[in-house]
Structure formats: C-alpha cells, structure tokens
Amino acid sequence: MPSKTTTDATLAITAETLVSMDPASGNPVGELLVTPVDHIPQMVRDARIAQRSWGAMTLEQRAEILKSAVPRLAEEATQIGELLTREMGKPRPQGVGEATYCANGIAEEVDAIVDALRPETLEDERLRTTLRFDPHGVVAAITPWNFPLLMVFQSVIPALVAGNTVILKPSEETPLVAREWVAVLNEALPPNVLQLVIGDERQGKALVEAPIDLVVFTGSREAGKHILREASGGLKRVILELGGKDPMIVLADADLDAAAAFAARNSFRNTGQVCVSTERIYVEEGIAEDFTEKLAEKAAAMRIGSGMDSGVEIGPMINRGQKDHVVRQVESAVRSGARVIMGCHGPDDAGEGNFLPLTVLADVDHDMEIMREETFGPVACVMSVRSDDEAVRLANDTRFGLAACVWGDPDHAEEVAAKLTAGMIGVNQGCGGADGSPWVGAMESGYGWHGGRYGHRQFCQVRTISRAKQGG
Ligand code: NAD
C-alpha cells in the first residue's frame, strides 16, 4: 500500500499505521495498524464461511447472542464514550450518551428487527404464500465519523440479526472508538461474524470491489455515487444514507421563541456536523428580523470548547479540511452580499485550531454555494421570503432530500409540510418519527433506507414459497 502523508492536522496515515488525533487539542489519541488492502479478499472468504452457521441459526438464537453483549457494552459505555469524545470532539455527555445507547439500545432494536423479519403469510382463495426474509450473505458496512458509534450500530445490528456476517470499515477519523465497541461485541459473537477493517477510502473501495453481497454505506453523496457505480457491475445490493441540505420554514404564525430555539439547536449541535442539521432557514419577511435576533441570542449563549470540559455544548470541527470548507463557503457568501449577524466572515476571524465561532448569516440567496451544497458546520443561514409558496419553492430547489421542518400553526404548517420533497419532515419539531418510523432520504440524500419494519427488511433477500391451500 502506498504511504500517504497528509497536511491534515488531525490525521496522519503511514503505510502501516493510522494515528487518530484529538480535534480539540491536536494531540494523538491512539495508533492502529491499517488493514492491508490485499487482506480484504481473505476476510471476505472467512466471513462467508462464518455466515453458513450464523445464517443457519434461528432469528431468536441470533437475537439472544446479540443481547448477551449488552451488560459488557453497558459496563464499558463510559470509557468508550469518553474515547469517542477525545477522538471526535463532541461534548462528553453526548459521547457517553451515544455509547450508552449503543449498549442498552441493542435489546429493543434487536426485538424490533426480529419482529420485522419473522416469516409472513399471504393468502388468496387458492394459494398460501410464505414470505421469508433471508440474509444476503456478507455485508460491507462503511460508516462516517459524525456519530461514530450510532452509525456503526445502525448498520451492523440489523445486518447481524438478519443472519448476515459483517465486515465493518469505520471512518479513518474515528477508528479507535469503533474498534473498542466491536471488540466488546465480539466477546459474544462467534469468530468472523463481525470483522473490522481499519483504513480510509482505499480500504472502503477495496471492500466494495470484493465479492460481498450488500454494501451499507453512510457518508457523503460523492462517495455514495462512487459506491453505487462500483456495486452495479456485480449487481451488489446497496443501502446509501447520504448528505443533506435541510430546509426549515418559519411561517408568519409560528411561535418565534420555539422556532429560534430549535434553529439554534439544530444548526449548531455536534458543531453542525449532523446529516439532518438545519442548513437553510426561510422566514416570512414580516418576522425575519425578530427571528434572526432571537436565533443569534440563543447561539451567543452556547459555550464552545473542548468536549472533555464540563459545561461545553459545542466542540471543535472534526478536522482542518472540514473547517476550511465551511470557512470558504462563509467567505464566499459574505463576498456575494450575505450579512454576518454573528460569527466569522472568513479565514481572518475563523477561530483557533479546529474551533469555529457559531455563525449566523442573513440576506443569503440561492446563487450562493452555502445555500446549495452541504456545509456540515456551525452556520445558520436565514433568507426572508414573501409567501408560503416562495418558501416551498426554495426549500424544494435542491438535489438533496433528507429532512425538513416547518414551524407555524400546526394545521397550516402540516399543509405546507405536505408540499416538501424531503424524506423526513417535522411539523414544529425535528425530523424524528414515532417508534418504527424509517430513517429515509429522498433524491440524492439516499438510496434505500434504514429503520422501521421495511428498513430492517432491506438487510434481507425476500423469498416466497407458495402452495395450494388444502382442498383448493
Ligand atoms: P465520507 O463519504 O467522506 O466517508 C464515509 C466513509 O466512507 C468513511 O469510512 C470513508 O473512509 C469511506 N469512503 C470514502 N470514500 C469512499 C469510496 N469511494 N468507497 C468506499 N468507501 C469510501 O463521509 P464523512 O465525511 O465520513 O461523513 C460526513 C457525511 O456523511 C456527510 O455528507 C453527512 O451528511 C453524511 N451522513 C449521512 C447520514 C444519513 O443518515 N443520511 C448520517 C451521518 C452522516
């Protein structure tokens, strides 16, 4: 494998090792051996052999084995959560919260998946057909860094319950925390049911090219498109959860305080590095100034700092490259007429290291890249609109389609929400749905989906067995 040197301050890869860096301090957190690309075909062969006996177990047997890992994962959750914070930067309570959910949440998730994958019977006058949900075989799970465990959990648990074996390649930014979680889960699993590949996109590409059966990918739209192209040669199945440019619409009859509080929370949490962050805000012109002022007030009260310091709400950006991307979008918007209500104008006032001031921009428009391409950083962009129709037209003026939300009188807001083209839409709330709702992106934000009955079934091949009914 060629050696790679990079100017990125948070990551250093050599031919054999990957050093994971703390984005807050710039210090190393740990070092791992990179998986040589030419080891991947043998890992796939091992996974395929292991799949025979794993897939032959009943759903319930697999569920029991996975649930038996919960006590140990729960015991390690604080330690794993703190490692998550040091490696990725989010505040410690959120890191520990993510690790705790990815331990205790296994039991409930596994039960929901088992329920979705039990055989189902269809009948007409003549026939009885049984739908069986079979494993695909070997699954490649490729995950990002912004929720380093949750994204792994979401990909790995349904794949395993369904009877697939999994080769996981976590992000090169957060390999240590994934390795810890996998190691504890593997105390309960048979050998080679869950294997780990360490590396960057080269390992990801090699995994997609290897003879696997399903790629479950969460990450950027560009990488998703590449994976879809590569997988098409072998008609490999793919589930892609990609980026977004989520709009928020604030109608004239909205509760302004509640809307501004949500806008601040959902633009800045995780330092804006959330696939369903609010990236564009359209506000009816009569309330736009008030709304923007309230949003800036809420933002000014948020404390930025190292995720390990108590009371910090917003950590650093993941790395220098991501920070530069955000600053470049802001600088370009400002040059084209955006008004800085608070935060940075460009590189000169962009903050130390990987930290970035929370930024609120007004007077933005759709000629600006910041309103068209994913920012993935702590910037709230407010554009005033003359009518509901204009808000809907602008909100839908995108190739992305992950989430959206509308704030206003609930009936009025729901009427407007029904005109939006995103996959998950909230009325006076974020995009999360009732228990069992899918996690789904429309258009270029996704291909297939996760969660809920139909999402869990995407980790399976459906097979029907039909026979005549007795006396038919
Ligand atoms: P990324 O696409 O750069 O990398 C994601 C993973 O894919 C990493 O493990 C990386 O090594 C690997 N990879 C990169 N290129 C690849 C290729 N061509 N073939 C195979 N593997 C490849 O994304 P990121 O920067 O880690 O994560 C941020 C992105 O993820 C944002 O766009 C965000 O919106 C998106 N995301 C989406 C969801 C969702 O549910 N829709 C959730 C979280 C993050």
pLDDT mean over 77-102? 98
Is-catalytic flag, 241? Answer: yes
The strand pair at 359-362 and 339-342 is best described as antiparallel
Q: Is 337 exposed, middle or buried (0-12, 13-18, 19+ CB in 10 A)?
A: exposed
If you ran DSSP here, which 8-state letter would residue 215 be given? E
Task: Outline where DSSP puts E strands in 178-263.
Answer: 194-196, 214-218, 237-241, 246-250
For residue 5, pLDDT beyond 60: no
Position 471 confidence tier, pLDDT thresholds 50, 70, 90: low
| Bridge partners, residue 30, by sequence | 20
For residue 3, pLDDT beyond 60: no
Q: Which residue has the tokens 């709400």?
A: 313
Q: Nearest C-alpha to atom 42 of ligand 1 is from which residue?
A: 275
From the CB of 140, is ligand 1 less than 6 Å away? Answer: no
Element (H, E) at 426: strand 424-427
Rounded Cα distance between 190 and 452, Å, is 27
pLDDT mean over 287-292? 98
For residue 16, pLDDT beyond 60: yes
Atom of ligand 1 nearest to the CA of 374: 32
From the CB of 20, is ligand 1 less than 6 Å away? Answer: no
What is the sign, positive or negative, of the torsion defined by CA atoms of 218, 221, 225, 226?
negative
108-144 per-position pLDDT tens digit? 999 999 999 999 999 999 999 999 999 999 999 999 9
For residue 455, pLDDT beyond 90: yes
Atom of ligand 1 nearest to the CA of 445: 41
Which has more confidence, 359 or 4? 359
- What pLDDT score was predicted for residue 470? 81
Q: Which of 275, 381, 405, 460 is catalytic?
A: 275
- Residues above pLDDT 90, as percent of the chain: 96
Rounded Cα distance between 235 and 393, Å, is 36
For residue 12, pLDDT beyond 60: no
For the chain, what is the mean pLDDT? Answer: 96
pTM of the model: 0.96
350-370 per-position pLDDT tens digit? 999 999 999 999 999 999 999
Q: How many CB atoms lie within 10 A of CB 304?
A: 17
**Pair 408, 252: CB distance under 8 Å:** yes
Biggest CA–CA distance in the chain, Å, is 82
408-454 per-position pLDDT tens digit? 999 999 999 999 999 999 999 999 999 999 999 999 999 999 999 99
Query: With b meaning 16 or more CB within 10 Å and e meaning fewer, what string describes 182-195?
Result: bebbbebbeebbbb
- What pLDDT score was predicted for residue 224? 98
| Bridge partners, residue 128, by sequence | 123, 467
pLDDT mean over 290-314? 98
- What residues contact 38, with CB distance under 8 A and at least 6 apart? none
For residue 221, pLDDT beyond 80: yes
Distance 191 CA to ligand 1 centre (A): 27
pLDDT mean over 188-211? 98
Question: Which of 18, 32, 169, 171 gets mutated to test ligand 1 (max ligand atoms within 8 A of its CB)?
Answer: 171
92-107 per-position pLDDT tens digit? 999 999 999 999 999 9
Rounded Cα distance between 472 and 470, Å, is 5
| Bridge partners, residue 282, by sequence | 249, 383
Question: Which of 198, 201, 203 gets mutated to test ligand 1 (max ligand atoms within 8 A of its CB)?
Answer: 201
User: Any idea what the Cα angle at residue 175 is, between residues 370 and 190, rounded to 5°?
Assistant: 130
For residue 62, pLDDT beyond 80: yes
